[in-house]
Amino acid sequence: MVVDVVMPKMGESITEGTILEWRKGVGDTIATDEILLEIGTDKVDAEIPTPNSGIITEILAEPNDVVEVGKVIARIDTDESGATPTPSETTPEPETETKPEPPPAIKQPEPLPPVPTKPESPVPSAEKKYYTPVVKSIARKEGVSQEELAAITGTGKNGRVTKKDLLAHLEQRTATQVAAPEPPAVSVSVPVVSQLTDERVEMDKMRRSIAEHMRLSLDTSAHVHLMNEVDMTHIVQYVDANGPSFKAREGFSLTYTPFIVYACVRALQAFPDMNSSLEGTTIIHKKNVNIGLAVAVEAGLMVPVIPQCEELNFLGLCRKVRDLAVRARTKQIKPEELSGSTFSISNFGMFNVTTGTPIINQPNVGILGVGTIKKKPVVIETPQGDTIGIRSIMYLSIGFDHRLVDGAGGAQFIEAVQKNLENMDLEHLF
């Protein structure tokens, strides 16, 4: 039986993917769950396993081809015994050794090959090569043209130019420029190109896809943002005091992110509208709280999902946050782990940013922005009177769709997250 292999869905709002590399070819035998090809989108590069074992009979897309989700890209014959070899694989019958040799024929003079007027020197084509988003980004910033990029010898798979290759090329180019002698005062007239000349570079496919998703979100949702500050002093003190023992026990560091996720999940349970989506005029209240956690990776940004957060205790959240962050940065995230979120969290505080207004991740209704924690002098109200003290303060921002959530609802939600953090029972987390 011949089974169709289709372009998988690689995440929410993803309608197509780019073929990066085929790990198997026509005629190859492949086992179930063995890696068949590598696919890339604006969100993730992923290795795709085969759904069935058998022999690959057809490959319908080439590397660098952009294919719509659901379109057939290959076919596998699951009946290996019924597979026939391709004409190129057919072995010709050997000649009989006793066959008499024919008399030597008079050799006719062979015509001389035409003398090429120009030496052939294949020039790599930048259009047929695949470059990762990070390579393209560095190339744009450093003014590396498509022709120069194509001429770099890549050390990656199938000669792919890696970030390391590009940086080494730039270092060599800079050294060459520094070592170049000063031009003589009188020389042959050579046109001088100003270093301030503008360069026009077409956006690559992945960047265009990201731009389209962001524009679509702004066109779809009526964005409103509210901000509030949170006193994180007691959580900071708790992490400082218990972080070493936690790392010794679990093998990784205790961060602030699980505390924020824990507080956010309980606020979402109290305000179900924020854990919803809109389809036209229909409100869909999600049964589970699935948190999309934005993770900065080398190629940009990835939003893997922690499903059913309401069923996880604090330690379970710590392990999930750690696992997703590590696998996202090592390209081990599965495509299905990038879809199904009901609410998103973007922590830009790790980049020492105080606050921001993140764009809603469709089809979510809300997104929580988390700023860095900084010590500030604040007024502390006590029964004995007001005092000024140094506290660890963090800014939260909530972006929500005003079509469903009003300003009052957004304010109540961010206040709930604030109180959940400031009043968290730290002694009974584990």
Q: Closest Cα to residue 347, out of 259, 266, 282, 274?
A: 259
Q: Which residues pair with 389 in a beta bridge?
A: 378
Q: Which helix (H) or strand (E) holds 344?
A: strand 343-347
Could you give the CA distance from residue 26 to residue 76 in angstroms, rounded to a whole number?
A: 9
Give the active site residue among 219, 402, 425, 428: 402
Could you give the CA distance from residue 270 to residue 272 in angstroms, rounded to a whole number?
A: 6
- Is 406 among the residues known to form the active site? yes
* Angle in degrees, 0-180, between the axes of helices 407-422 and 257-270, rounded to the nearest 10: 130
- Is 225 among the residues known to form the active site? no
Give the active site residue among 28, 273, 406, 428: 406
Can you tell me whether residue 363 is helix, strand or coil? coil
Q: Closest Cα to residue 305, out of 260, 262, 335, 266?
A: 335
- How far lies 127's CA from each of 14, 147, 170, 244, in Å? 23, 9, 21, 51
Q: Closest Cα to residue 265, out of 345, 330, 203?
A: 345
- Is-contact 158 21, C-beta < 8 A? yes
Question: Would you please indicate which residues are annotated as catalytic (active-site) residues?
Answer: 402, 406
